[in-house]
Structure 1
Amino acid sequence: MRLVLQLVARLLVIVALCLGAATIWATIDAYRSVDRATEASADRVSQALEALYWRELLLRSSRMREQLLPAPDWRTIETMGRIAPGICVEFEPARAFEQPLCGQSKGIGKTPPRWFAAAVHITLGDHATVERPISARAATAGTVRATADPDAAIALAWQHILDNIHVALLMALAIALLASLAIAHTLAPARSIVTALRRMADGQYRTPLPRFRSMELAMIGQAVSELGDRLAQAQEERAVLTRRLLEIRSDERRALARELHDEFGQNLTAILAFANSIEATVGKVETAQDARMISQATRRIMACLRDTLNRLRHPPAEELGLEASLVDLVDSWRSQAATQPLIQLDLQGDLADISGTVAATAYRVAQECLTNALRHGAAREIVLRIERRSGAENALLVRVEDDGGGDAAKVAQSAGFGLTGVSERVAALGGSLSIAPARRGLSVAATIPLAA
């Protein structure tokens, strides 16, 4: 799951929790507002009745105080206006059959669900009754008792919740949307880091990264850049060590070639001379035949030694040049037998100034690939293509294709010492070697940078 979606999902969970908390707070506040309305109604009605009490006392001083209140005109529209909706007020002592005076409760709100009414009643309990005396100086003036209508109080709380929940829901959606956009914008630079890591996986270790405003992303980008620098440095050191190893191996091969030529070559030449002398001077047929067999065995050993010396010495590309050495290589394979497959040599571009290690490596690649195609395949046609690519690429492409079948993946996994050595040579120069299927066989391609 993407990080942006995870953060957005967590944000939605937090918004839902906050919305639930706001709903609970709105319920408690609405329920408490009914208690506040009850107290306010009791205060307003008691103040109004106190003024009525003292007025009746002054105007009708001949009457007994017990007969002053409740006054017959206290249940008026003015008194109704002092009572909050859903609140009922009654006067003590009350007249016979006198009903409480209640505020307007119709249209106070929508009818709440039963589960909400039950939950509020269980959780918050009943509303308290508020009593206020008519006059603090006259205890016999009476008392005002205000109570809240339970159904009206719950309906008012439910309407309060609906009003607040709509606003809270809109705010939650707006916060979630804006926060999602902000999170997506903040994490957008992470794509640059992923792209840089993919380029590093492809070998482009020093990949520049943009400057990040976020401190965390900046630290990650700096760590990725440092990792790329270390990988590039390690790759350069590895290439240097590989080139040094190839030079040491080349020196050892030349030394071994000199030893073989000086020791084995001279001794084999002496053996051949002695065998020819014996064959020419001895008259017995058996002895002459033995000498002839010694001569034949010696010639075969000398031919094998000559081939080994040719492989141990410097490749002809360093002496004859790349183009002439490739022509000589193809001609040598063509002249070995008439049953050899058709070998085509395709040279593209100017190869005259290519020399040194690049030329030697290209020659070794062509030699090894031709050897594998001729000895290990059933090819009828082999194409050796050497192409010099100029411009920004500035590289030498060596490609050998054959129609002898074969599985490219299996050959790449089970590459022998020859292909492994060629791959190391190419990698030491900063190039690459690939094995891929061709139309009817295999294609081995090596790209060697000319800057090497």
Structure 2
Amino acid sequence: MSLQLKLNLMITGLLLSLLALSFYSITHNAREDVRAEIESTSNLVLHLLDAEIIHYSSDFGWLSPGAEGQTSIFRLKNLGNIRHLRIDFYDASGRLRETNKNAYDKTDINQPPQWFVKAMDLSTLSVSQTRKNIVLNGRFLGELVVTPDPSFEMAEVWDDTVGLLTLVAIFFVLMNLFAYIAVKYTFKPVKQIISALTQLETGNFQSRLPEFKQVELKEIGSKFNLMADTLQQSTVNNHRLTQQIINLQEDERKRLAQDIHDEIGQYLTAIHVDASVIFAAKTLVTAKESAKAIGAVTRQMMNTIHDLLQRLRPRVLDELGLSLALAELAHHWRERNSNTLLIHNIANITGCVEETTAVTAYRVMQECLTNVSKHANARKLNIEIKHDEKHVFMEFEDDGNGFDFNQHTKGYGLAGMMERVQGLRGTMHIDSVVGRGTKIGVILPKKSFNSDDKGL
């Protein structure tokens, strides 16, 4: 069930509850009004009849026959305007002598339906038939019976109720229509948000939301667009970085192949020549000279292979550990860059440091040193490396040229460093100002999240 339908049902239920409460209040008040009206009318009629009886007891002229030849005592036919009461006069023999029931006709009123009559529940009202004995000069003339008749009052209440309920029904329909339109208009942007999310799901990171007028949705739209911008930029950077990594791999393979061809091939050729000389030598001195040359070439070839392997994989990490490997890296860099003052404080990193973390730390420091020597033109470089139980902290600060990070993110060096660090769920912060140097801070976890997951 959609939120829009839920809100409409809630509003409809609330209005129906108000309608039922209003109907109950109307019927309850109407019942009390009917009772009060009938009691008031009954009391008034009885009061007037008492006055008539007193009057007639002193004047017997009223005993003269009427126009129809019958004696009329109370002239009840003249009480036709008393619609809420039925007044009957029975003589001493119990015969009906006078009544006002023919003075009006109920067919000309709008009779309420039976369910409304039952809802009124007039049976609980304390309104009953009233009887009054008529005695004149000690003589019992008959009985006057006053019977409440609430039909006219109920008809009036029914007419009023119908009018009020009609207004309430119109209000109910208009309110529901207004609520439906308002909710539909308010949640119209939801479809746009779902459509934009679907486009993101299919890889269309150019999808954007318009600026909504609603305050709540306006912030959602702004955050969504910011997220889409970030995803799009990240995707572009990843694609570019992947392509650069592929190109760098090909370049590295080409360089390795060239080095092997130029250097190892040259050494092997020299060894082959010296071996041929030994094979063809006629004197021991000549053979020894060639064997000595083979040994020298072999040592040179071993150094070359060691350098090639170092480029592929820093074996010094396995041999010396992370702290000494970083210190050796700094030592060799100082020897090659005597114009830059290098001050380093490398703590003895203890505890279990995973291989991926150690390699990443080594490559990060290697890249930072390479960038300083190639681009920074720095006079001073400070390196501080420390650790705690869970992390390795690295900080590099130089007083060189600096750069605008937003304009230098296309280089593989910084992007590759950041990818390596973020791949281990580490953090990397770069603070650089043109002409005022660069400061790079890196935090690496000693254990990667993959190993943590395996241990769970």
Shorter-chain TM-score: which interval? 0.3 to 0.5
Give the TM-score, by structure 2 length: 0.42
Greater RCO (Cα-Cα under 8 Å, separation 6 or more): 1
Give the TM-score, by structure 1 length: 0.43
